Amino acid sequence: MDFFQTVDLHFQGHQQSIAVYVIPHKEGIALIESGPGSTFNNLKAGLENLKYRLEQITDVFVTHIHLDHAGAVGALAKYGATIHVHPVGAPHLINPEKLLASATRIYGEHMDRLWGKMLPVPENQIHILEDGDIVNLEPLSVLAMDTPGHATHHHAYLVREVCFSGDVGGIRIPGTAQIRLPMPPPELNLEDWRRSVKKLRAAGPKRIAPTHFGVYEAADKHLLDLERLIDEIDLWMEEVMPGDPSVEEIDQLFQAWTEERAQKAGLSPEIINRFEAANPTWMSAAGIQRYWRKYRAVVEE
Ligand SMILES: [Zn+2]
């Protein structure tokens, strides 16, 4: 048996959209990610299927604090778990008000249906992980790797030969080698993202497990493909963005580019639907615009 297991949270009824990875150890179980508050009962049921109880969770390692990754940490903290998080993300788990306000600006009336409740984590249950920190879970250890690009407060976790890549490893769906880049506002940064991918490649994982979704062999090939995708998107931006298009225009153009890429790769409609469930293309338009204006636009005097 593998040293970890996967729980599919069946987010919004979709298969293979959001994962929680479960690592049994001497004292109980550790989770990579909590998923959102809306799938808390699915997480509970998924763990029960694997013969685990919520009370056995000793540690939760969140890659970053976006609601699809960390929304249920407060609920899990009630069962005594320690929540490990990047220093920049920690204050937002202790007091999620700002995080929820900014998510509400994006999702509006759909907030509750999509993400459910996000409860605060008591400060004494938060453990901040810096880059390179190691947490021992007998007989394993978890290495935190600061990996900005998708978000400034992002860690990937290396356990044995597996990289749990959160969102910095891109989005991938079982049944295809295609990768997509989740680029929500406000922290997208392609240069940081490139550096983070190089750092992950240098760490030499054999398998990669993005939160959206699944476990893949040949991690180096995946990461190389990801580097190429970042370059492609960079070129696309160079072409499209100097005209300062509106978010709606960026959305249209990026949707078209994404569809063409899916066609070329021969993706089935079912795989395309799963990609959209895990990472709606429209989310990226505002992220692209903000990134371009902040870092790339040439300001004329
Ligand atoms: Zn994210």
pLDDT in tens, 257-272: 999 999 999 999 999 9
CB atoms < 10 A from the CB of 37, how many? 21
pLDDT at 281 over 90: no
8 Å CB contact between 59 and 67 = no
Q: How far is CA 151 from CA 190, 206, 238, 287, in A?
A: 10, 24, 22, 11
From ligand 1's centre to the CA of 276, what distance in Å?
14
| Residue 105, pLDDT score | 87
Taking ligand 1, which is a single-atom ion, which protein residues have CB atoms under 5 Å away?
A: 66, 167
From ligand 1's centre to the CA of 68, what distance in Å?
7
pTM (2 d.p.)? 0.96
Q: Rounded to whole angstroms, how far apart are CA atoms 142 and 129?
A: 11
From ligand 1's centre to the CA of 171, what distance in Å?
10
From ligand 1's centre to the CA of 26, what distance in Å?
30
| Residue 79, pLDDT score | 97
What integer is the mean pLDDT of 168-179?
96
CATH architecture of 5-227: 4-Layer Sandwich (3.60)
From ligand 1's centre to the CA of 267, what distance in Å?
24
From ligand 1's centre to the CA of 224, what distance in Å?
21
Instruction: Express each pLDDT in 43-56 by its tens digit.
Output: 999 999 999 999 99
pLDDT at 30 over 70: yes
Instruction: Express each pLDDT in 104-133 by its tens digit.
Output: 988 899 999 999 999 999 999 999 999 999
Provide the residue ranges of all domains of the chain, joining segments of one domain with +.
5-227, 237-296
From ligand 1's centre to the CA of 214, what distance in Å?
16
